[in-house]
Amino acid sequence: MGKILIISNKLSLGGAEKLAVELALFAKKNDIEPTVLILENYGNEHYDTILKEQDIKVIRTRIKHIKHFRAPLKMAISAWWAIKLKYFSGVFYDSIHVIGLYNIDAVLNNVIHQHRFFWNVNNSIQYHNKEYPYQREIFANKHDTIVNINEYQAGELYDQYGKEAIKTKMVQAKLFVNAAD
């Protein structure tokens, strides 16, 4: 059985959060063991219960700015995950999926893996001046893949950053519908 890690920043009601859940359910249905890692958010949210009912592990921790001196167990867990993802993620997971390009800053240099998939869940119109706020560095690794969820996103990224600046693979994926079925 393969293993994937799905990284997001929350599991509340929302489109990106639903995508994370559907990806996890799809993986499990196809004999791939998913783990969902929620960064910088320790609260129990809407989709936690659904994932727990499906026996999908949810880990909540931070991998940057570890500062739990009053909670040494949380600090140790955070440190373990930071080390695990930076140096050993290829040993534990077949691929890493980051939901939302807005989460890349937290993982770009902290999660080292040959099979990283960055799911683009926004359009440029959602941002000030209709421009994505992402740094060019997120497009520099030819081993990474940006997964766009609609036909417009690739064009928006190429128009804003230039085709020559985008070294990552770009693919479009149809969103899952009722992955639990």
- How much is the pLDDT for 14? 82
The residues with which 59 forms a beta bridge, in sequence order, are 37
State if pTM tops 0.85. Answer: yes
Consecutive H or E run containing 72: helix 72-87
Nearest to 166 by CA among 175, 174, 157: 157
- The pLDDT of 46-70, averaged and rounded, is 82
**Tokens 């990284």 found at:** 7
**Tokens 């219960």 found at:** 49
Q: What domains, with CATH codes, occur in the chain? A: 2-172 (3.40.50.2000)
Q: Spell 122-150 as b/e; 16+ CB within 10 A means b.
A: bebeeeeeeebebeeebbeeeebbbbbbe
**What pLDDT, in 10s, does the model give residues 85-108?**
888 888 999 999 999 998 887 788
CA-to-CA distance for 124 and 104, rounded, in angstroms?
16
**What pLDDT, in 10s, does the model give residues 103-154?**
887 788 888 899 999 999 999 889 888 989 988 999 999 999 999 999 899 9
Q: Rounded to 5 degrees, what angle do the CA atoms 80, 99, 161 make?
A: 115
Query: Which one is predicted more confidently, 24 or 67?
Result: 24
